[in-house]
Amino acid sequence: MQTPEQEPVNLLNFDRKGLADFFVAMGEKPFRATQLLKWIYQEDVTDFAQMTNLSKSLRTYLTEHCTITAPEILIEQVASDGTTKWVVEMGLGNRIESVFIPEEKRGTLCVSSQIGCALACTFCSTAQQGFNRNLSVAEIIGQLYVAQKRLGENRRITNVVMMGMGEPLLNFDNVVAAMNLMMDDFTFGLSKRRVTLSTSGVVPAMNRLHAVCDVSMAVSLHAANDALRDELVPINQKYPLEQLMAACKDYANKGPRKHITFEYVMLAGINDSVHDARALLKLLKDVPAKINLIPFNPFPDSSYLCSSRPVIIRFKDILYKGGIITTIRKTRGDDIDAACGQLVGKVKDKSRRHLKLQQMGSSRAG
């Protein structure tokens, strides 16, 4: 039982199982979870007094001890191509960003999982902001909740990609609970094929994921050898390519999907040569793979340049002729800094990430 000093329980922090456990602990039946989810996500009702199929005593208890609180959108920016970026308040001087990408037959929401990012990938503007904390379940699912309310019935969110700020698998439990909510028939009802998690390669968490949440997997790869990937994606120093590829094959083999999508940012003179393309083919020869080539999106103080269009097309042709389905991602929302790798928000950095990276490198060398 809650004491007067405790904060109200935010019910957006529970997926259906968590909510059922919450009600059972109160002495209620677990089916109350389904009733509450329908009120919140399908009927858009957040006033417990209006939830008429709950008993009066339960409604009173929930009113006194619980809340349904989603994050607040502070700023909305709409790009020339229709892409919409929302800056979302997270308290204590922190803000994250979510992006909606409209297309003819679908609408994709790019969702953040952390305030900032501790992985410090050198080509990513988000990573340069440092890291503050993990987002709660309510703050993750809340991005979808407030985005759909803002868009209204005429523009539905059909796909979610966990590709916003942060490394999702370093916030494992909260991200899994939020994705379960996204796919729940009594909330948003998204297909498993329409929810994608992108990881930089947190191998132990990849190995755990398929057992608890069946979603599509994308891997932020960007290099075909350990030396270059150590530089571009520093977590590779902890989980090198041999381990990453084994985890990818295992994930693909245990799920209904037959492939992993590999994201590969095109950096001029860094990873875009014919040799790099052939090395990528060799690396992925035993992995069920699709490749998404991403033109680099510049940001202030970056030392990288985007590969030229002819170089990107040449790279794609080599991969395609080598038997791997390869696409070139269309840059969306770059005029409002909403493109891949450009999300920055506002982060009170607590990570001391440069020291951590030095320690990681020293540990690897030892």
**Can you tell me the distance from the alpha carbon of 270 to that of 165, in angstroms, rounded to the nearest whole number?**
24
Mean pLDDT of 184-197: 95
pLDDT at 148 (0 to 100): 95
Check if 139 is active-site.
Answer: no
Residues 291 and 325: beta-carbon distance below 8 Å: yes
Asked if the structure places residue 353 within a domain, the reply is yes
**Can you tell me the distance from the alpha carbon of 302 to that of 39, in angstroms, rounded to the nearest whole number?**
47
Point out the domain boundary residue: 45, 67, 89.
Answer: 67
Residue 145: phi and psi, rounded to 5, are -60, -50
> For 30, how many CA atoms within 13 A lie in the half-sphere containing its CB?
6
pLDDT digits (tens, 9 = 90+) for 42-91: 999 999 999 999 999 999 999 999 999 999 999 998 888 888 999 999 88
Going by C-alpha positions, the residue among 72, 37, 17 that lies closest to residue 188 is: 37
Both 116 and 33 in one domain: the answer is no
Residues 54 and 32: beta-carbon distance below 8 Å: yes
Asked if the structure places residue 119 within a domain, the reply is yes
Both 201 and 251 in one domain: the answer is yes
Residues 252 and 287: beta-carbon distance below 8 Å: yes
Q: Is the pLDDT reported for residue 362 higher than 90?
A: no
Both 281 and 151 in one domain: the answer is yes
Please state at what angle helix 203-212 crosses helix 241-254, rounded to 10 degrees: 10
More confident residue, 227 or 360: 227
DSSP code, position 106: -
Asked if the structure places residue 179 within a domain, the reply is yes
Asked if the structure places residue 97 within a domain, the reply is yes
Q: What 3-state class would DSSP assign to 53?
A: coil
* Residue 101's CATH number: 3.20.20.70
Check if 97 is active-site.
Answer: yes
Point out the domain boundary residue: 24, 49, 67.
Answer: 67
Per-residue pLDDT band for 356 (boundaries 50, 70, 90) equals very low
Both 208 and 288 in one domain: the answer is yes
Both 257 and 131 in one domain: the answer is yes
Q: Is the pLDDT reported for residue 229 higher than 90?
A: yes
Percent helix, strand and coil across the chain, each rounded to 5?
40, 20, 40
Going by C-alpha positions, the residue among 180, 134, 139 that lies closest to residue 13 is: 139
pLDDT digits (tens, 9 = 90+) for 237-270: 999 999 999 999 999 988 656 799 999 999 999 9
Both 62 and 80 in one domain: the answer is no
Both 90 and 170 in one domain: the answer is yes
pLDDT digits (tens, 9 = 90+) for 293-325: 999 988 777 889 999 999 999 999 999 999 999
Asked if the structure places residue 297 within a domain, the reply is yes
What is the distance of C-alpha 83 from the center of its chain? Answer: 17
**Can you tell me the distance from the alpha carbon of 166 to that of 200, in angstroms, rounded to the nearest whole number?**
10
pLDDT at 332 (0 to 100): 61
Both 93 and 202 in one domain: the answer is yes
Q: Residues of the chain with pLDDT > 90: what percent?
A: 70
Residue 190: phi and psi, rounded to 5, are -75, 145
What does pLDDT average to over the chain?
89
Give how many domains the chain has, as a whole number: 2
Which of the following is catalytic: 121, 213, 248, 340?
A: 340
Both 239 and 198 in one domain: the answer is yes
The first and second tokens of residue 73, run together, are 């959108």
Both 37 and 142 in one domain: the answer is no
**Can you tell me the distance from the alpha carbon of 88 to that of 85, in angstroms, rounded to the nearest whole number?**
10
Domain residues for 259? 72-365
pLDDT at 120 (0 to 100): 86
Asked if the structure places residue 4 within a domain, the reply is no
Where do we find the tokens 């993750």? 140
Q: How far is CA 227 from CA 188, 223, 233, in A?
A: 42, 9, 10
Both 21 and 120 in one domain: the answer is no
Point out the domain boundary residue: 67, 84, 99.
Answer: 67
**Can you tell me the distance from the alpha carbon of 301 to that of 57, in angstroms, rounded to the nearest whole number?**
59
Which of the following is catalytic: 97, 139, 167, 263?
A: 97
* Residue 16's CATH number: 1.10.150.530
Asked if the structure places residue 31 within a domain, the reply is yes
pLDDT at 131 (0 to 100): 85
Asked if the structure places residue 1 within a domain, the reply is no
pLDDT digits (tens, 9 = 90+) for 151-176: 987 789 999 999 999 999 999 999 99
Both 129 and 229 in one domain: the answer is yes
